[in-house]
Structure 1
Amino acid sequence: MSDTANCKAENWYASWFDTPYYHILYKDRNYREAQIFMDNLTHYLNLPEKAKVLDLACGKGRHSIYLNQLGYDVIGADLSENSIAEANKNANDTLHFVVHDKREPFEQKFDAIFNLFTSFGYFENEADDLKTLLAIKESLSEYGFAVIDFMNAHQVIENLIPEETKEVDGIVFHIKRYVSDGFIIKEIDFEDNGCPHHYVEKVRAYTLEDFQRMMNEAGIYLLDTFGDYKLKKFHKNSSERLIMIFK
């Protein structure tokens, strides 16, 4: 009997974000750069001391923790129960974590809502992304601001690496990238302990124009756009990021 016969079948609902492999593959992400981004962002927004901040799609809460260290009252929200269980180890009086679907508004209101590091555009149906924007709008206080930090789809598609192999912690990840039906798709294949694994990441290739259209529909005011974590001007053909400030 082969090793693979004992392998758990990967069902469509098996969450990539809930697996340890997601965190292994992306362990080299630049969190210092992320902290500089949050320093710049909170300074730009001129958030008051002890402002109520929502980190929407917070993962294991690393950025929520940093925002809390800056002196804000933070809630980190994510759909992944495993991630929230991990994040909750860091909870305190002004830092809380909840399992939450971002399409649903919060009852309490926030001075700032951050949706960071391309945590948008995962849904099959664009109507769910519009729902998410409306939920963000409804969860803001009267003077609150929201921020979506998205990839610059133009630049990503222009520089797409179709195939790549990456070894992390002894696991060899085979990665394929392509564009299909308006989504940028990444297929990830690897073996661990003799078991094959296959995961797919799908993010809708929204452009600034797409966001503007959805925001108009949601009655949202786009106040500013930036192209990187130092808050430099957005350029469609060269910027690394598409950072949008709205209310």
Structure 2
Amino acid sequence: MKETDWFTSWFNTPYYHILYKDRNDKDAQVFMRNITSFLQLPKGSHIADIPCGKGRHSVYLNSLGYNVTGGDLSENSIAYAKQYENETLRFAVKDMREPLKNKYDAIFNLFTSFGYIEDDAEDILILKNLKNGLKKDGVLVLDFLNVEKVRKTIVTNEVKIVDGIIFSIQREIVNGFIKKHISFEVDGESHAYTEHVKYIDLEKMKIYFSEAGLQIDHVFGDYDLNPFDGTTSNRLILVAS
């Protein structure tokens, strides 16, 4: 397996979903309410949630009155999300590295779903694909981690027990990537995966967005949409057009 394609296997395993099963839906819902209100997106607007995982953001956005299309590379995630489909909520397997077929009022890239690939050109291509998927007055929301705070607060070793599985987690920042090494044993078989997220600060994001032809209109530092602070903010949230 190529290191750059770690996500194609890890995100498609049941163990990924077990490890992260307790993600905070309340935070996700607060963010979706806040950002749709801030953007003044009319009900019925068509939002693409890419990648959507198992659909938690998509389902909630749909409950707020939006027409939502969720796309994700993980076939397992999409198969799970499809149980929630209705006339205004659809899910499909989608790779961000491929052009979008439709145009949207807004595209949301949430929960650090960017920066997985070593080559900067591929990250810029993804942003170009997202830009080309926007309608004339469409908007892109990219929700990333604040790498500066991660660097200062990184927990290098951690053990999490979820559903009886002992996950051993080691974190490091090396070669321009924040890496999370995850190892565990199930039924006597050892498993090991490494998550790679590129160390992209605001200045580097500005370069990426400019290269992709995107204009950054707003920068927030958390899901309550407070201003971004490089040292204290939990998130780096970019709104672009």
Q: TM-score, normalised by structure 2?
A: 0.96
CA contact (8 A) 2:8 2:73 kept: no
C-alpha change, 1:42 and 1:200, in structure 2 (3 Å) is same
**2:108 is aligned with 1:77:** no
Runs of 4+ in 1 over 2 A off after TM superposition: 11-14
Q: Any residues of structure 2 matched to 1:220-235 within 5 Å, and which?
A: 220-235=214-229
Percentage of matched positions with identical amino acids: 51
CA contact (8 A) 2:127 2:209 kept: yes
**Distance in 2 between the 1:207 and 1:29 partners?**
24
Partner of 1:175: 169
**2:98 is aligned with 1:104:** yes
C-alpha change, 1:30 and 1:203, in structure 2 (3 Å) is same
Aligned partner (choices 9, 15, 35) of residue 9 of structure 2: 15
Partner of 2:182: 188
Q: String of CA shifts for 1:212-242, please: whole Å, max 9, x gaps.
A: 0111111110000000000001000000000
Aligned partner (choices 54, 57, 62) of residue 60 of structure 1: 54
**Distance in 2 between the 1:47 and 1:38 partners?**
11
Q: Give 1 or 2 for the bigger CA radius of gyration.
A: 1
Q: CA deviation at 1:107?
A: 2.4
1:227 maps to a residue whose letter is: G
Instruction: Extract unaligned runs of 5+ from structure 1.
Output: 1-10
Q: CA deviation at 1:104?
A: 2.1
Q: CA deviation at 1:105?
A: 2.4
Q: TM-score, normalised by structure 1?
A: 0.93
Q: CA deviation at 1:142?
A: 0.7
Partner of 1:3: none
Q: String of CA shifts for 1:101-155, please: whole Å, max 9, x gaps.
A: 1122222210110000000001121111100100011000011111000000000
Aligned partner (choices 126, 136, 155) of residue 142 of structure 1: 136
Partner of 1:5: none
C-alpha change, 1:14 and 1:96, in structure 2 (3 Å) is closer
Instruction: Extract unaligned runs of 5+ from structure 2.
Output: none
**2:90 is aligned with 1:90:** no
Q: CA deviation at 1:12?
A: 6.6
Q: CA deviation at 1:56?
A: 0.5
CA contact (8 A) 2:228 2:236 kept: yes
Residue range with higher mean Cα deviation, 147-156 or 20-29: 20-29
Q: CA deviation at 1:14?
A: 6.4
Q: String of CA shifts for 1:29-77, please: whole Å, max 9, x gaps.
A: 1111110000000000000110000000101111101101111110000
**2:224 is aligned with 1:236:** no
Tell me the C-alpha RMSD between the 2 structures: 1.3
May I ask how many residue pairs the two structures share in their alignment? 237
DSSP-derived class of the 1:231 partner: coil
Q: Any residues of structure 2 matched to 1:93-132 within 5 Å, and which?
A: 93-132=87-126
